[in-house]
């Protein structure tokens, strides 16, 4: 089992060695976490994962972090929040998102901080908007509703630690926008991978319209 919260934990006694793990057929990140006794989010951040729940492929090399007094199982996950304000459009773009294994419209909407209805409206002409919880075949390009006028700044950046969920709020963007800009990026083996940042995403007028 991963290390549990322990107020008597001595950080100096922890094993801080980092090593690699090669994934087996049909393994999930939860399987890996259980096998190596580390937290799901600790592993995700060590590997700069785009999304901790993105399905793994057989033979992937993952970096396994050192022990922590408290294993992190939840803070990197993209989940609905009752306090979140979901939008009808994405500020600045991109206009298309390429689906990955395990995607549903509802989950894609969550990545972009969109209402499900707004994403359904742009996906429906593609025959994808009827059941928001149906799994979508990977590799589909889905149009995303955009706020007009709006813009983002774009820049390359070398990532060394963390997940898209960690970075997006600091950049003023969303997980979905980072994934749309970097459709082939899953995780970094060893850090230093260069991806495109979207940041400082803002509307350019007091009143905006939704374009699809």
Poorest-confidence range of 23-32, 168-177, 180-189?
180-189
pLDDT tens, residue by residue, 22-44: 999 999 999 999 999 999 999 99
Give the span between the Cα atoms of 40 and 34, in whole angstroms.
9
**The model's pTM:** 0.90
**Domains of the chain, earliest start first:** 11-64 (3.10.350.10), 80-212 (3.10.350.10)
Neighbours of 109 (CB within 10 A): 23
Q: For residue 129, give both structure tokens.
A: 């908007």
Q: What is the pLDDT of residue 1?
A: 39
C-alpha neighbours within 13 Å on the C-beta side of residue 182: 24
Neighbours of 125 (CB within 10 A): 10
Q: Which residue in this structure is represented by tokens 């950049």?
A: 171
- The shares of helix, strand and coil residues in the chain, as percent rounded to the nearest 5, are 25, 20, 55
Q: What is the pLDDT of residue 153?
A: 97
The confidence band for 12, taking pLDDT boundaries of 50, 70 and 90, is confident
Give the span between the Cα atoms of 3 and 70, in whole angstroms.
6
pLDDT tens, residue by residue, 55-114: 999 999 999 999 988 999 999 999 998 777 899 999 999 999 999 999 999 999 999 999
- H or E element, residue 90: strand 90-91
């Amino acid at each position: 089992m991963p290390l549990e919260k322990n107020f008597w934990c001595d950080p100096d006694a922890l094993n801080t060695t980092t090593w690699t793990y090669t994934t087996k057929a049909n393994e999930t990140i939860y399987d890996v976490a259980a096998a190596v006794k580390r937290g799901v989010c600790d592993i995700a951040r060590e590997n700069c994962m785009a999304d901790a729940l993105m399905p793994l492929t057989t033979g992937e090399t993952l970096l396994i972090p050192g022990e922590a007094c408290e294993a992190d199982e939840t803070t990197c996950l993209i989940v609905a929040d009752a306090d979140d304000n979901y939008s009808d459009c994405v500020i600045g773009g991109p206009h298309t998102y390429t689906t990955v294994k395990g995607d549903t419209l509802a989950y894609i909407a969550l990545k972009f901080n969109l209402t499900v209805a707004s994403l359904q409206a742009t996906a429906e002409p593609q025959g994808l908007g009827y059941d928001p919880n149906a799994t979508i075949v990977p590799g589909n390009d889905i149009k995303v509703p955009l706020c007009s006028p709006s813009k983002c700044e774009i820049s390359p950046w070398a990532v060394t630690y963390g997940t898209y969920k960690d970075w997006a709020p600091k950049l003023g963007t969303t997980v979905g926008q980072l994934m749309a800009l970097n459709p082939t990026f899953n995780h970094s083996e060893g850090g230093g991978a260069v991806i495109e940042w979207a940041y400082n995403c803002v509307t350019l007028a007091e009143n905006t319209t939704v374009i699809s």
